[in-house]
Structure 1
Amino acid sequence: MPDHAAYRLGATCVTFDPAGQVLITRRRSPERWELPGGLVDPGESLHAAAARETLEETGVTVAVRGLVGVYQHPQRGILAALFLAAPVAGTPRPTEESSEARWADVPDALELLHPLYRPRLEDTLSTRHTVPLRVHEGAITLDVLAVREVAART
């Protein structure tokens, strides 16, 4: 395992539309299908980064609904949070970062997704409740994502 001074933080969204399709994106480099996400900017909250990255990579604005889990990548020095989200506006489209973005049926997405992202979608599909996320400075709470029951997906 590499010796990292500190982990970089990442954030990813799993977004389902009302029909139960999941939002996926095809990266330009390396070229592969992924769930939208990326690195957190300094001072940015994890869930804000997940929403920002989703918009940048797909053209779809999302509302983050809850935290699904945290994924550690020791070889790359990344600690990534996985969020459940719902679409608010926009249509999937190519962007500067993605050659393609689209809604996919879950079985198709599981087939297309790079092996790094497939377990994240599987974990989201099996999630019944999100977990709490509290953003705070000392005793002052800045933001909270509460525990939510995850509605059944069609």
Structure 2
Amino acid sequence: MADTPKHSVSVAGIVVDEDDRVLVIQRRDNAHWEPPGGILELDESPEDGVCREVFEETGVSVAVEELSGVYKNMTRGIIALVFRCRRVSGEPTVSDESRAVAWRSIGEIVDDMDPAFAIRVQDALSREVYVRCHDGVELVGSD
């Protein structure tokens, strides 16, 4: 049993404003643009985890609306639960984990993000639930 592969679970929030712009961060560790999110802690629900992660990385408090997708990084064994959210309060501000925080249009997101992360935003805006796999950058397998 010790050789059994391990997975970790992360959460991310696709925070959409009234103009259909999405709150995104530029990560401090690798300068990539992504939706805010991170590893789910053992003692929290996925919804609580996404609210915590979005607040920690952006200074914005959110309410979770719905699950928009499940994404597996096939290379690293990370399962990401992605939720569509709405802003409740707070103004975007940088943190220890984000070097920039911005509201972006879908066109800007597609231009600035790796496909494996841009698709999460596109999926959340479609209001459907998706299950996808990626290699950390590109989608893999069938749609």
TM-score past 0.5 threshold = yes
- Assess, with a 3 A threshold, how the Cα gap between structure 1 residues 100 and 42 changes in structure 2: closer, same or farther: same
Q: Where do residues 30-109 of structure 1 align in structure 2 (5 Å cutoff)?
A: 30-109=30-109
Give the C-alpha shift of residue 49 in structure 1: 0.9
| Residue aligned with 1:24, SS | strand
Deviating more after overlay: 59-68 vs 114-123:
114-123
| Residue aligned with 1:95, SS | coil
Stretches of structure 1 that go unaligned for 5 or more consecutive residues are 132-154
C-alpha distance in 1, partners of 2:31/2:12? 18
**Which string of whole-angstrom CA distances, capped at 9 and with x for unpartnered residues, describes residues 86-144 of structure 1?**
0001111111110110111221122112332111111112224x69xxxxxxxxxxxxx
* Residue of structure 2 in register with 1:27 after alignment: 27
**Which string of whole-angstrom CA distances, capped at 9 and with x for unpartnered residues, describes residues 41-83 of structure 1?**
1111111111111111111110011101111112111111010
| Residue aligned with 1:116, SS | helix
| Residue aligned with 1:107, SS | helix
TM-score, scaled to structure 1: 0.77
C-alpha distance in 2, partners of 1:52/1:120? 19
TM-score, scaled to structure 2: 0.83
C-alpha distance in 2, partners of 1:119/1:44? 26
**Matched residues, percent identical?**
34
C-alpha distance in 2, partners of 1:75/1:112? 22
Number of residue pairs aligned between Structure 1 and Structure 2: 128
C-alpha distance in 2, partners of 1:112/1:4? 36
C-alpha contact 2:106 2:122 (8 A) present in aligned 1: no
Alignment root-mean-square deviation, CA: 1.7
Deviant stretches of 4+, over 3 Å: none
Give the C-alpha shift of residue 4 in structure 1: 5.6
Give the C-alpha shift of residue 14 in structure 1: 0.4
C-alpha distance in 1, partners of 2:83/2:68? 5
- Paired AA for residue 34 in structure 2: E
C-alpha contact 1:4 1:77 (8 A) present in aligned 2: no
